[in-house]
Amino acid sequence: MKTRIREFRELREWTQEQLAAMVGVTRQTILFLEKGKYNPSLRLAYKIAHAFKRSIEDVFSFQDEESALDTEV
């Protein structure tokens, strides 16, 4: 899954620590999300999108996973 977390965070000049505190996770979780090493729960995805005042679809891209599913069918 691709995310735009880093992009939106940097636009607001927030640190990973600040965003993590806003959504109730550790800085390492934000780091792993930004690097694509961790997929968030729906609740966490909502909290992050809400912090940025964006939709979940604006912040997270599921396109790569959907195209992979299409080829498996």
Q: Rounded mean pLDDT of 51-73?
A: 74
Q: 54 in a domain, yes or no? A: yes
Q: 72 in a domain, yes or no? A: no
Amino acid in the structure at residue 14 = W
Q: 73 in a domain, yes or no? A: no
CA 73 distance to own-chain centroid:
27
For the stretch 9-28, pLDDT in tens is: 999 999 999 999 999 999 99
Which neighbouring-strand residues pair with 61? 2
**21-27 contacts at long range (C-beta below 8 A, 24 or more positions apart):** 22/47, 22/51, 23/47, 23/48, 23/51
We report the CATH number of the domain holding residue 16 as 1.10.260.40
Q: pTM score, two decimals?
A: 0.82
- Confidence band for 73, pLDDT divided at 50, 70 and 90: very low
Q: 71 in a domain, yes or no? A: no
For the stretch 35-60, pLDDT in tens is: 999 999 999 999 999 999 999 999 99
Domain count for the chain: 1
Residue pair 49/22 in contact by the 8 Å Cβ criterion = no
Q: Rounded mean pLDDT of 27-37?
A: 96
